Amino acid sequence: MAEQISELLRKNQLSVTDNRKKILELFLQSDSALAHHDIEARTKEKFDRVTVYRTLQTFMDRGIIHTIPTADNSVKYALCKDSCEQGHHHDDHVHFICSSCGTTTCLEEIHIPEIKLPRGYKTKQTEVVISGVCKLCS
């Protein structure tokens, strides 16, 4: 996994630092989206809060992770698909939030269809968030 992480950082023209490697490893090991506090809670080392925010912003800017809105107006983050790149996210899939355990999962097999907007409107991003009970809590 260490080589995969280093390669992903280099592919996105980022320096391979310990903090970036550790945060990226958390995303690769997780089956669900992570919030800022999840990252702080799951690491043995104590990260500077600003370092985590900057790292997440850098990963978003480079197309490594994307944001998922939540009902409480906080943000969770998940790994992007391979087709994302710097400044261009292609994460047109459904996000599922379990009302029982609170996990947020990308349902990549369910794609959001193109929505025809009225003349003069341009889509920047379409987000579909479904809440319910996940398969583990059912």
Q: What is the pLDDT of residues 122-132, one digit of tens each?
A: 887 778 889 99
Q: What is the pLDDT of residues 60-69, one digit of tens each?
A: 988 899 888 7
Binning pLDDT at 50, 70 and 90, where does residue 94 land? confident
- pTM of the shown model: 0.76
The pair of three-digit structure tokens given for residue 74, joined into one six-digit string: 């906080």
pLDDT at 88 over 70: no
Q: What is the pLDDT of residues 98-107, one digit of tens each?
A: 999 988 888 8
Q: Does domain 2-132 have CATH number 1.10.10.10?
A: yes
pLDDT over 70 for what percent of the chain? 93
Q: SS3 of 25, please?
A: helix
Is the model more confident about 3 or about 72? 3
Q: What is the DSSP secondary-structure string of 69-134? A: E-TTS-EEEEEPPTT-BTTB----EEEEEETTT--EEEEEEEEPPP--PPTT---S---EEEEE--
Is the model more confident about 84 or about 33? 33
Instruction: Spell out the domain ranges in the chain.
Output: 2-132
